[in-house]
Structure 1
Amino acid sequence: KNLVLGFGLALRDRIEKSGKYRVIMTRSDDTFIPLNDRVKIARTQSAALFVSIHADALPRREGDAQGATIYTVSDKASDAEAERLAEAENKADAIAGVNLTDEPTEVADILIDLAQRETKTFSNRFARLLMDEMKSTVRMHKHPLKSAGFRVLKAPDVPSVLVEIGYVSNKGDLEHLVSENWRNKAVGSMVQAIDTFFAKRLATAGPAK
């Protein structure tokens, strides 16, 4: 937990140093924040990107694994989430504060689905950019891009990725995770990916409102 928090704080400091972004941490100390609340924080702040940082560990009997992995939410989880979001009690705030309670169910479902699809496209785009940047500085898992039903990735309107920066159960990874030099390189590659992601989004979005 100390390694991950240290990494998150270093990433925040580097991003803020650029002066381009406002960084909101779900926590800046060893406080447990429920998974759904982490998503809520991102949505309440109208986040343009949500990055969840973790370090993994494999029990010895399950063999050994190494390298960083980047996760996006899986199709199956998204479909189940779309179903849940379509329920009346969730419609009021399902898409960036747009109230869908007065819309017919079919219309609300379509709007939520469209928002999720766009969000997913942006999440996958950022995950690929992040992999391309990180692989030049950080040892990556043999299958570096994965998808799973992580609850923290389920905001329908905030592009989200979960980054496992390495395995504390692997000797080589652990040596990296405790190295300030390694952390600086890894943080640098993540900031580069964030810059590229937003430069592309701004280029395609046209003039700001």
Structure 2
Amino acid sequence: MDRRNILRLGLGLPFLLSGGATEALAGTLNDQMPKPARKPAPPAAPRALPVIMLDPGHGGRDPGAIGPSGAFEKDITLDLAKRIAAQIEAGGRCKAVLTRSKDVFVPLQERAIKAQTAKADFFVSIHADSAPNPDARGLSAYTLSEKASDGLAAAIADRENAVDLLHGLDLGVSDPQVAAILFDLSRRHSLNTALARKAHIVKTAGAKLRLLDNPRRSANFAVLKVPDVPAVLIETGFLSNTNDELLLTSAKSRSKIATVLADAFTGAVTVG
């Protein structure tokens, strides 16, 4: 190609690339160029499972209630709590933690502190108490209230609150103003949730287990004063009643109770 033809070709290129030809050429080149791989989105962090803190009542030098045949409440509550924890873990929807896993004495305030330390989503204290009336039997659930719902609830709470004085140092809050603040925090942040969960537990467990008359109760339990953690105390039955003692001392019956309560506790935390 001579020099004149080369010049004519060079002069014609701006016109050839006008009228959208430039964009077309750029698009063609872009289509032919390899595209950089898109950076994959980082995997979502696994959602932490809700933590249910199970508190086996009494322990160590504090036997709790003692049944007519000599059964200790502390042994029954520990066995039940371990069974419930195993069922909760097996369900895979919640994590279960115990305030005690062996026969030791744990002060009431320390039990509450354990729930806060574990960042628990739900605190459940497990009991099998005695009642003034030996005919009283069946499961019941309690939430915190400065005023007890009835005489039986008040009597049980008074006996439970005296544990630290009888079997160890009294680690309760001595300053009435601090105690009032703690109670108010508990009421503000957790009482409504605890009330709803108590209702769920009673409804769920009541379909398969015998309930005490008026099973949804309240009292001023020191162990339930856990700021910012919904807390419920469960009386699985009364060792002062021979029929309840027979059930609670049976491994087969405790297994059934544990299965029902594990489902009820998990549902109370995860439903709604």
TM-score (norm 1): 0.74
Higher helix share: 1
Q: Deviations over 1:140-190 (max 9, x none)?
A: 111211100101111120000001111111111112112233222222222
1:54 aligned partner? 127
Shift of 1:191: 1.9
State percent identity of aligned pairs. 35
5+ unaligned residues in a row in structure 2: which ranges? 1-73, 149-174
1:115 and 1:54 mapped to 2: Cα distance? 21
RMSD over aligned Cα atoms: 2.4
TM-score (norm 2): 0.58
Shift of 1:82: 9.6
1:4 and 1:72 mapped to 2: Cα distance? 18
Aligned partner letter, 1:40: I
The yes-or-no answer on 1:33 pairing with 2:127 is: no
Aligned partner letter, 2:232: V
Aligned partner letter, 1:152: V
1:55 and 1:85 mapped to 2: Cα distance? 27
1:15 aligned partner? 88
The yes-or-no answer on 1:155 pairing with 2:249 is: no
Contact 1:130 / 1:189 at 8 angstroms: preserved in 2? no
1:196 aligned partner? 267
The aligned runs of 1:37-186 (5 Å cut-off) are 37-58=110-131, 62-76=133-147, 83-84=177-178, 113=184, 116-186=187-257
5+ unaligned residues in a row in structure 1: which ranges? 88-93, 95-111, 202-209
Shift of 1:115: 6.2
Aligned partner letter, 2:247: H
Q: Deviations over 1:12-38 (max 9, x none)?
A: 111111222222211011101000000
Aligned partner letter, 2:144: V
Moved >6 Å (runs of 4+) = none
Aligned partner letter, 1:32: F
Aligned positions, number: 173
2:237 and 2:271 mapped to 1: Cα distance? 28
Does 1 or 2 have the higher relative contact order (CA < 8 Å, sep 6+)?
Answer: 1
Shift of 1:199: 2.5
1:173 and 1:48 mapped to 2: Cα distance? 30
Q: Deviations over 1:51-94 (max 9, x none)?
A: 000111135xx4431111111001449xxx9952566xxxxxx7
2:192 and 2:176 mapped to 1: Cα distance? 15
Aligned partner letter, 2:83: A
